Amino acid sequence: MTAPDPDPRPIDHLPARGRSDAVALADRAGALDFAGLEGAVGRIALALRRTGLAPGDRVASWLPKTRLASLLPLAAARAGLIHVPVNPVLKRAQLAHILAHSGAALLVSQPPRLQSLEAGDVPDGCRAVAEDALDADDVMPPSRADTGDLAAILYTSGSTGRPKGVMLSHANLWLGAISVAHYLRLTPEDRVLGLLPFSFDYGQNQLFSTWAAGGRVVPFDYLLPRDVVRAVERHAITTLAGVPPLWVQLLEVDWPIPVAATLKRLTNSGGALTPRLVRALRGRFPNAALYPMYGLTEAFRSTYLAPELVDDHPDAMGRAVPFAEVMVLRPDGSRAAAGEAGELVHAGPLVAQGYWRDPQRTAERFRPAPDHAESGGMAVWSGDTVVAGADGLLRFVGRADEMIKSAGTRISPTEIEEAVLAGGDVLEAAAFGIPDDRLGQAIVVVARADGDTGQVEAVLRQRLRTELPSFMQPARYVWLDALPRNANGKLDRARLKAEVTP
C-alpha cells in the first residue's frame, strides 16, 4: 500500500472524495449518490445557519440513524458549528446533562422524543427543533474552516464523575477517516453496514472512512441479531464493524453460507476479542479479513492487528495505525523496553484537543509529547498498561482506571452509584465491572440499604429501568450490613471488588 495523504482538510469536504453518481448512502429514504450527499449537506448547513446560530455554537442531535443523523456531522461542520451527537438510547437525565455541559444552542430530535422531555431538560438558551425542520431551498458551499478548528464534541464517561466531552477538530476527523480507509483497504465497491451509534467515535468514523474511500454506508438500527443477517443479504454488505458482545450475538444466529460469504471485512473495537471468539469468527466468515483494533476517544484509534497476523497472534493489539505514534512509557516518561509493561501513550495529529470545559482533567490526561517522541504537540496518556513484544506487537495488560466496559460501552461507576443512591433507600453503594462472557463486563453493585433488602432491591430495579439506559442496568446487587473502609475513611474499593469478582 502507498502511504496515505497526511494533508488534512475540513471534514465537510468528504463528499467530494466519491464519484458523483456512485451511491454514498442507502437508508429507508432511498439511495443518495455523492452528488446528492453534497447537496443535502449544503442545504442542512444553510438551514442550521438560518436558525440564527453563530459560528462556534454547539448543535446537539438526539436521533436514531435517520438520514439527518447521518449527514448532520458534515452539515454542522460546514455551517461552522460544533456537533454534539447524543446516543439515542440515553434517557432524559443524561441528555439534560450533555445539553447543559456543552452549552448547546440547538437540540435536533424527533417529535416523540421532544415530547418526552420535561421542564428543565432543555436548558435556557437552547432551542429544540424537529429534524424535518432543517431544510433549505439553497445550499451552503464547502467551508474554508481551519483544520484545527473544533468540529465535534463526543461525550464519553470518565473513570469518575459525569460524562466528559472530548473535543475533536476537523483534522482529527479527516485524518481519522483517511487512516481507517487506508489500513482497512476500503474501496468504492465496499458496502458498510452502520450498526454502531453515530455518537460513538467508532460508529461515526464508519461514515467518514467509507465516504473517504468512495464507498456506500447503510445505516441500520436493529432489534435482533437475525435482523443484521437479513440486512447483510439485502444490501450485499461487505463490511461489518462490531464490539465483542455483538459478535457473540451474531454467532448465535444462523448465517446462510452464501450470505456469510459476502462479508470480506470484519472490524472490532470497544473491547478485546478472545482467542475463542477469533476462531469462531474466522470459521463462520471464512472470506472475511478480521481486523482487531484498539483505541480511545481521546486519540481516536491507536493500533490495529493486520489480518494476516490474527491467527498466530490472537492476543495482540497490533501496531500503530497511520498518523498515530504510540509509545509504551515508564512512570518517569522514558520508553519501556521490549517485554516491559508500561502505560500506552498516544501522540500525533489524531490526538484530541482535550475535554470540553474541563481544564483539570485535560491537564491530567493531555500533556506535551515526550522529547524522545517523533511527534510534537500534545500526547494523551491512556491509563492502560501494555507490553511491546520483541515482535513489535503490542499486547494489553490491564486498565489502570476503574471504568466498566459492558457491551462495548465505557460506563462510569460513579454515574451508576449516583443513580442507585438517588432514591434515598440505599445508604452506600459501589459499582464494579466483573468478567462476563456475553457483555465483557457485567455491572455489580455492592450496597448498604435502609430497610429490607429484598423490598429495596425490587423498588430500585424498577426505578433504574426508567432512569438509566439498558446497558447501564446492574446485573446483580450484593447487600452488606457495612462496607469496608480504608485508612482515609473512604470505601475500600479494591477489597470490595475482590469480594465480588469470581
- CATH number of 469's domain: 3.30.300.30
Evaluate if residue 162 carries a pLDDT over 80: no
Sheet holding 127-130, edge to edge: 127-130, 106-109, 58-62, 82-86, 150-156, 164-169
pLDDT at position 138 is: 96
310 in any annotated domain: no
Evaluate if residue 274 carries a pLDDT over 90: no
DSSP 165: E
For residues 449-470, give the mean pLDDT: 93
For residues 446-450, give the mean pLDDT: 90
Beta strands in 220-264 (DSSP E): 239-242
DSSP labels for 25-36?
EEETTEEEEHHH
Range of the domain at 446: 404-500
The band of 78, judged by pLDDT with boundaries at 50, 70 and 90, is very high
The residue whose grid cell reads 460513538 is: 200
The residue whose grid cell reads 436558525 is: 51
Evaluate if residue 95 carries a pLDDT over 90: yes
284 in any annotated domain: no
79 in any annotated domain: yes
Gap between the Cα atoms of 213 and 157, Å rounded: 31
Evaluate if residue 160 carries a pLDDT over 70: no
pLDDT at position 487 is: 42
Give me 454's grid cell: 429484598
Q: How far is CA 314 from CA 83, 162, 306, 310, 477, in A?
A: 37, 34, 11, 5, 34
CATH assignment at residue 95: 3.40.50.980
Gap between the Cα atoms of 127 and 57, Å rounded: 12
The residue from 145, 167, 202 where one domain ends is: 145
Percent of the chain with pLDDT over 90: 78
Indicate the number of domains in the chain. Answer: 2
For residues 283-305, give the mean pLDDT: 95
pLDDT at position 490 is: 67
Instruction: Write out pLDDT tens, residues 398-417.
Output: 666 677 888 888 787 878 98
Beta-carbon count within 10 A of 257 CB: 8
pLDDT at position 58 is: 98
154 in any annotated domain: no
For residues 132-157, give the mean pLDDT: 94
383 in any annotated domain: no
Q: Which residues, other chains included, contact 160 with Cβ-Cβ below 8 Å and sequence gap of 6+?
A: 402, 412, 413, 414
What is residue 305's three-state secondary structure?
Answer: coil
218 in any annotated domain: no
The residue from 123, 145, 167 where one domain ends is: 145
222 in any annotated domain: no
Instruction: Write out pLDDT tens, residues 187-206.
Output: 999 999 999 999 999 999 99
Evaluate if residue 246 carries a pLDDT over 90: no
Evaluate if residue 1 carries a pLDDT over 70: no
Evaluate if residue 161 carries a pLDDT over 70: no
pTM, entire model: 0.86
The better pLDDT of the pair 108, 274 is held by: 108
Q: Average per-residue pLDDT in the chain?
A: 93
93 in any annotated domain: yes
The residue from 89, 122, 145 where one domain ends is: 145
